[in-house]
Protein backbone atom coordinates (compact mmCIF):
# COMPACT_ATOMS: atom_id res chain seq x y z
CA UNK A 1 0.00 0.00 0.00
CA UNK A 2 1.37 3.40 -0.93
CA UNK A 3 1.86 6.08 1.69
CA UNK A 4 -1.34 7.95 2.47
CA UNK A 5 -1.43 11.74 2.59
CA UNK A 6 -3.31 13.85 5.13
CA UNK A 7 -4.18 17.55 5.30
CA UNK A 8 -4.65 19.07 8.75
CA UNK A 9 -6.14 22.56 8.68
CA UNK A 10 -4.78 24.85 11.38
CA UNK A 11 -2.03 22.35 12.13
CA UNK A 12 0.54 24.73 13.56
CA UNK A 13 0.22 24.61 17.32
CA UNK A 14 -2.07 23.14 19.95
CA UNK A 15 -4.33 20.32 18.92
CA UNK A 16 -3.46 20.60 15.23
CA UNK A 17 0.24 20.14 15.89
CA UNK A 18 -0.43 17.07 18.05
CA UNK A 19 -2.52 15.58 15.23
CA UNK A 20 0.22 16.29 12.67
CA UNK A 21 2.83 14.59 14.85
CA UNK A 22 0.67 11.55 15.59
CA UNK A 23 -0.18 10.98 11.92
CA UNK A 24 3.47 11.40 10.91
CA UNK A 25 4.48 8.79 13.50
CA UNK A 26 1.96 6.43 11.93
CA UNK A 27 3.64 6.82 8.56
CA UNK A 28 1.35 9.31 6.86
CA UNK A 29 2.61 12.17 4.74
CA UNK A 30 1.31 15.26 6.53
CA UNK A 31 0.44 18.68 5.13
CA UNK A 32 -0.88 21.58 7.17
CA UNK A 33 -2.62 24.79 6.22
CA UNK A 34 -1.81 28.10 7.85
CA UNK A 35 -3.29 31.56 7.65
CA UNK A 36 -1.93 33.76 4.84
CA UNK A 37 0.58 36.19 6.29
CA UNK A 38 1.58 33.90 9.14
CA UNK A 39 5.18 34.90 9.85
CA UNK A 40 5.99 31.87 12.00
CA UNK A 41 5.65 29.18 9.35
CA UNK A 42 9.34 28.68 8.62
CA UNK A 43 10.19 28.78 12.32
CA UNK A 44 7.56 26.12 13.06
CA UNK A 45 8.66 23.89 10.18
CA UNK A 46 12.28 24.16 11.33
CA UNK A 47 11.30 23.26 14.90
CA UNK A 48 9.39 20.24 13.61
CA UNK A 49 12.44 19.14 11.58
CA UNK A 50 14.51 19.25 14.78
CA UNK A 51 11.98 16.83 16.25
CA UNK A 52 12.26 14.59 13.20
CA UNK A 53 9.08 15.61 11.37
CA UNK A 54 9.14 16.87 7.79
CA UNK A 55 5.82 18.59 7.17
CA UNK A 56 4.66 20.77 4.30
CA UNK A 57 2.73 23.98 5.01
CA UNK A 58 0.51 25.93 2.64
CA UNK A 59 -1.03 29.36 3.18
CA UNK A 60 -4.79 28.92 2.79
CA UNK A 61 -7.58 31.11 4.11
CA UNK A 62 -9.96 28.31 5.05
CA UNK A 63 -12.82 30.81 5.49
CA UNK A 64 -12.59 31.76 1.80
CA UNK A 65 -13.83 29.33 -0.86
CA UNK A 66 -11.57 30.57 -3.66
CA UNK A 67 -8.49 30.44 -1.44
CA UNK A 68 -9.30 26.81 -0.60
CA UNK A 69 -9.83 25.93 -4.26
CA UNK A 70 -6.46 27.39 -5.21
CA UNK A 71 -4.69 26.01 -2.14
CA UNK A 72 -5.98 22.47 -2.62
CA UNK A 73 -5.07 22.57 -6.32
CA UNK A 74 -1.52 23.61 -5.43
CA UNK A 75 -1.25 20.93 -2.76
CA UNK A 76 -2.46 18.20 -5.10
CA UNK A 77 -0.16 19.36 -7.90
CA UNK A 78 2.88 19.24 -5.63
CA UNK A 79 2.01 16.44 -3.20
CA UNK A 80 -0.36 14.15 -5.10
CA UNK A 81 -3.80 12.84 -4.13
CA UNK A 82 -5.15 13.58 -0.64
CA UNK A 83 -6.56 10.62 1.31
CA UNK A 84 -7.39 12.23 4.66
CA UNK A 85 -8.78 15.65 5.60
CA UNK A 86 -8.82 16.85 9.20
CA UNK A 87 -10.96 19.99 9.48
CA UNK A 88 -9.34 21.36 12.62
CA UNK A 89 -9.00 25.12 12.02
CA UNK A 90 -11.02 27.25 14.40
CA UNK A 91 -11.20 30.54 16.28
CA UNK A 92 -13.20 32.04 19.13
CA UNK A 93 -14.78 35.48 19.49
CA UNK A 94 -16.48 34.99 22.85
CA UNK A 95 -19.01 37.41 24.26
CA UNK A 96 -22.60 37.27 25.43
CA UNK A 97 -25.20 37.30 22.68
CA UNK A 98 -26.44 40.67 23.86
CA UNK A 99 -23.01 42.17 23.18
CA UNK A 100 -22.13 40.08 20.12
CA UNK A 101 -21.89 42.06 16.90
CA UNK A 102 -22.21 40.73 13.36
CA UNK A 103 -18.46 40.70 12.79
CA UNK A 104 -17.90 38.36 15.77
CA UNK A 105 -20.64 36.08 14.48
CA UNK A 106 -19.36 36.08 10.89
CA UNK A 107 -15.71 35.53 11.79
CA UNK A 108 -16.47 32.37 13.78
CA UNK A 109 -19.03 30.95 11.34
CA UNK A 110 -16.75 31.58 8.35
CA UNK A 111 -13.63 30.10 9.97
CA UNK A 112 -15.17 27.23 11.93
CA UNK A 113 -18.08 26.11 9.73
CA UNK A 114 -17.74 27.50 6.21
CA UNK A 115 -14.20 26.11 6.22
CA UNK A 116 -15.58 22.57 6.46
CA UNK A 117 -17.47 23.07 3.19
CA UNK A 118 -14.60 24.99 1.59
CA UNK A 119 -11.98 22.31 2.26
CA UNK A 120 -14.14 19.20 1.89
CA UNK A 121 -15.69 20.27 -1.42
CA UNK A 122 -12.57 19.89 -3.62
CA UNK A 123 -11.26 16.79 -1.83
CA UNK A 124 -14.09 14.36 -1.10
CA UNK A 125 -15.13 13.47 -4.66
CA UNK A 126 -11.58 12.49 -5.66
CA UNK A 127 -11.46 10.31 -2.51
CA UNK A 128 -14.71 8.65 -3.59
CA UNK A 129 -13.38 8.07 -7.10
CA UNK A 130 -10.36 6.26 -5.64
CA UNK A 131 -12.62 4.27 -3.27
CA UNK A 132 -11.01 5.32 0.03
CA UNK A 133 -11.01 8.46 2.15
CA UNK A 134 -11.37 9.92 5.61
CA UNK A 135 -12.88 13.26 6.62
CA UNK A 136 -12.70 14.13 10.31
CA UNK A 137 -14.30 17.31 11.65
CA UNK A 138 -13.01 18.65 14.94
CA UNK A 139 -16.02 20.03 16.79
CA UNK A 140 -16.32 20.72 20.54
CA UNK A 141 -18.17 19.72 23.68
CA UNK A 142 -19.70 23.20 23.48
CA UNK A 143 -21.30 22.29 20.18
CA UNK A 144 -23.08 19.50 22.06
CA UNK A 145 -24.12 21.28 25.24
CA UNK A 146 -23.74 25.01 24.51
CA UNK A 147 -21.64 27.46 26.47
CA UNK A 148 -22.27 30.87 27.99
CA UNK A 149 -20.81 33.56 25.74
CA UNK A 150 -20.40 31.22 22.76
CA UNK A 151 -23.55 31.37 20.65
CA UNK A 152 -21.38 31.82 17.55
CA UNK A 153 -18.88 29.07 18.44
CA UNK A 154 -21.52 26.60 19.66
CA UNK A 155 -23.61 27.12 16.53
CA UNK A 156 -20.63 26.57 14.24
CA UNK A 157 -19.46 23.47 16.10
CA UNK A 158 -22.96 21.97 16.16
CA UNK A 159 -23.29 22.71 12.45
CA UNK A 160 -20.14 20.72 11.75
CA UNK A 161 -21.81 17.54 12.95
CA UNK A 162 -24.93 18.15 10.89
CA UNK A 163 -22.60 18.33 7.89
CA UNK A 164 -20.87 15.13 9.02
CA UNK A 165 -24.07 13.10 9.20
CA UNK A 166 -25.37 14.17 5.79
CA UNK A 167 -22.01 13.75 4.03
CA UNK A 168 -21.51 10.35 5.70
CA UNK A 169 -24.80 9.14 4.21
CA UNK A 170 -23.89 10.37 0.74
CA UNK A 171 -20.39 8.85 0.64
CA UNK A 172 -20.79 5.67 2.72
CA UNK A 173 -20.92 3.34 -0.29
CA UNK A 174 -17.90 4.99 -1.90
CA UNK A 175 -15.34 4.01 0.74
CA UNK A 176 -15.21 7.46 2.36
CA UNK A 177 -16.06 7.87 6.04
CA UNK A 178 -17.00 11.22 7.56
CA UNK A 179 -16.90 11.64 11.33
CA UNK A 180 -16.89 14.29 14.05
CA UNK A 181 -14.91 14.38 17.26
CA UNK A 182 -15.98 16.66 20.10
CA UNK A 183 -13.13 17.40 22.50
CA UNK A 184 -13.77 18.93 25.88
CA UNK A 185 -11.27 21.21 27.60
CA UNK A 186 -7.83 20.22 26.33
CA UNK A 187 -4.54 21.64 27.60
CA UNK A 188 -3.82 23.74 24.52
CA UNK A 189 -2.60 27.34 24.52
CA UNK A 190 -6.15 28.58 23.89
CA UNK A 191 -7.43 26.81 27.03
CA UNK A 192 -4.35 27.58 29.12
CA UNK A 193 -4.91 31.28 28.38
CA UNK A 194 -8.07 31.06 30.49
CA UNK A 195 -7.28 32.59 33.92
CA UNK A 196 -6.09 29.89 36.32
CA UNK A 197 -8.70 30.77 38.92
CA UNK A 198 -11.43 30.23 36.32
CA UNK A 199 -9.94 26.89 35.27
CA UNK A 200 -9.58 25.72 38.87
CA UNK A 201 -12.94 26.95 40.17
CA UNK A 202 -15.31 26.66 37.22
CA UNK A 203 -14.00 24.32 34.51
CA UNK A 204 -12.02 21.47 36.06
CA UNK A 205 -14.69 20.80 38.74
CA UNK A 206 -17.12 20.05 35.87
CA UNK A 207 -14.83 17.29 34.52
CA UNK A 208 -15.31 13.94 36.31
CA UNK A 209 -11.72 12.89 35.52
CA UNK A 210 -10.58 16.03 37.36
CA UNK A 211 -8.11 17.32 34.77
CA UNK A 212 -7.76 18.82 31.32
CA UNK A 213 -7.35 16.48 28.38
CA UNK A 214 -4.03 16.11 26.60
CA UNK A 215 -3.65 17.04 22.92
CA UNK A 216 -2.01 13.65 22.37
CA UNK A 217 -5.16 11.90 23.60
CA UNK A 218 -7.30 13.67 21.03
CA UNK A 219 -4.69 13.01 18.33
CA UNK A 220 -4.92 9.31 19.17
CA UNK A 221 -8.66 9.34 18.51
CA UNK A 222 -8.12 11.12 15.20
CA UNK A 223 -5.48 8.54 14.25
CA UNK A 224 -7.92 5.71 14.92
CA UNK A 225 -10.59 7.30 12.72
CA UNK A 226 -8.00 7.64 9.94
CA UNK A 227 -7.15 3.96 10.06
CA UNK A 228 -8.46 0.96 8.13
CA UNK A 229 -9.73 -0.44 11.44
CA UNK A 230 -12.24 2.44 11.62
CA UNK A 231 -13.82 1.61 8.25
CA UNK A 232 -17.19 0.77 9.89
CA UNK A 233 -17.36 4.09 11.78
CA UNK A 234 -19.08 6.87 9.84
CA UNK A 235 -21.51 9.65 10.69
CA UNK A 236 -20.41 9.41 14.32
CA UNK A 237 -19.76 12.16 16.83
CA UNK A 238 -17.25 10.82 19.33
CA UNK A 239 -16.97 12.75 22.59
CA UNK A 240 -13.57 13.01 24.26
CA UNK A 241 -14.22 15.24 27.25
CA UNK A 242 -13.30 13.43 30.46
CA UNK A 243 -16.96 12.73 31.21
CA UNK A 244 -17.92 16.42 31.27
CA UNK A 245 -20.86 15.84 28.93
CA UNK A 246 -22.37 12.41 28.26
CA UNK A 247 -24.94 11.48 25.66
Catalytic residues: 153
- For the segment 69-96, the average pLDDT, to the nearest whole number, is 97
pLDDT digits (tens, 9 = 90+) for 182-235: 999 999 887 888 889 999 999 999 999 999 999 999 999 999 999 999 999 999
Least confident of 35-44, 56-65, 101-110: 35-44
Statement: residue 1 has pLDDT above 70: no
Percentage of residues in the chain having pLDDT higher than 90: 92
Contact by Cβ (8 Å): 237, 180: yes
Q: Where are the domains of the chain?
A: 5-240
**5-240 CATH, one of 1.20.1250.20, 3.40.50.720, 3.40.50.300, 1.25.10.10:** 3.40.50.720
Q: What is the pLDDT of residue 60?
A: 97
Give the per-residue pLDDT at 157.
98
Check whether 178 has a pLDDT greater than 80: yes
Q: Which pLDDT score, from 0 to 100, does residue 190 have?
A: 77
State residue 191's pLDDT score.
85
191 or 27, greater pLDDT: 27
pTM of the model: 0.96
| Higher per-residue pLDDT: 136 or 37 | 136
- On the question of pLDDT at 180 being above 80, the answer is yes
Amino acid sequence: MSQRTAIVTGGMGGLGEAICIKLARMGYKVITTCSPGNTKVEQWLAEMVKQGFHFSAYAVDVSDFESCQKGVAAIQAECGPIDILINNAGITRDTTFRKMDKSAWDAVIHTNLDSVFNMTKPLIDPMAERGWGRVINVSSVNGQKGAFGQTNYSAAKAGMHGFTKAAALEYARKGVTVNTISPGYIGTKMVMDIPKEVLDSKIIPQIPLGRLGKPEEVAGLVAYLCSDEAAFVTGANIAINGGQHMQ
